[in-house]
Amino acid sequence: MKNFVKEGQKLPLYGVGPYIVYGMAGVTIAAIVIFHYILKIGILGSPWILIFRIIAGLLIALGLVIWGIGSLGSGMDKNISENKLKTDGIYAWVRNPMYSGWWILILGISLMWHNAFLLIPPLINWGIMTFVLKRTEEKWLLNLYGDEYGQYLKRVNRCIPWKHRKSS
């Protein structure tokens, strides 16, 4: 996968993102196949089918919006190519909106199967995302931006969009 790194650019444009997303999708697909089609356990009936599917639709839409704002509407590509830390816009609400969007979208997709056991993969996916981000991108950014990024870590959530916290 080409990362479109320009001369002097310190970070790749895509980072570990595609691997995180592929991993989360793989965990979810495996769980759907195992619990819903092979073992056929945890499948919920009425009224849960409708409840799960309404929530699923809302989460899929929310995930697409968050991902879209983070990837297409934030100007992040420019910040990466200029080696500038992005902390405004959606990045003032969540440090990783593109990963968050995918996580929320995949959670929504898994709920379409109205299966209680499919509430487990989002927790596993959360762990995958947290583990990988802590050991890769967060280290890279802390090394690149130092205390500026350290302060950003303290006030903005990693993966759940939330109101800006005041740093002390």
Q: What is the pLDDT of residues 29-68, one digit of tens each?
A: 999 999 999 999 999 999 999 999 999 999 999 999 999 9
Asked if the structure places residue 121 within a domain, the reply is: yes
Asked if the structure places residue 164 within a domain, the reply is: no
What's the CA gap between 131 and 143, in Å, rounded?
18
Query: For tokens 């590509």, what's the residue?
Result: 77
Domain count, the chain: 1
Domain span at residue 45 reads 17-155
Span 99-107, mean pLDDT? 97
Asked if the structure places residue 135 within a domain, the reply is: yes
What is the total residue count of the chain? 168
Contact in structure between 85 and 145 (CB atoms under 8 Å): yes
- pTM for this prediction: 0.87
Asked if the structure places residue 142 within a domain, the reply is: yes
Asked if the structure places residue 65 within a domain, the reply is: yes
Asked if the structure places residue 26 within a domain, the reply is: yes
Asked if the structure places residue 127 within a domain, the reply is: yes
Q: What is the sign of the dihedral through the CA atoms of 146, 128, 21 and 155?
A: negative
DSSP assignments along the chain, one per residue: ----PPTT--S-SSTTHHHHHHHHHHHHHHHIIIIIIIS--SB--TTHHHHHHHHHHHHHHHHHHHHHHHHTSS-HHHHHHTT----SGGGGT-S-HHHHHHHHHHHHHHHTT-BGGGGSHHHHHHHHHHHHHHHTHHHHHHHHHTHHHHHHHHHS-SSS--PPPPP-
Looking at residue 5, its pLDDT comes to 47
Asked if the structure places residue 84 within a domain, the reply is: yes
How many Å from the N-terminal Cα to the C-terminal Cα in the chain? 41
Longest dimension (CA), the chain: 57
Query: For tokens 């109205």, what's the residue?
Result: 114
Span 134-144, mean pLDDT? 91
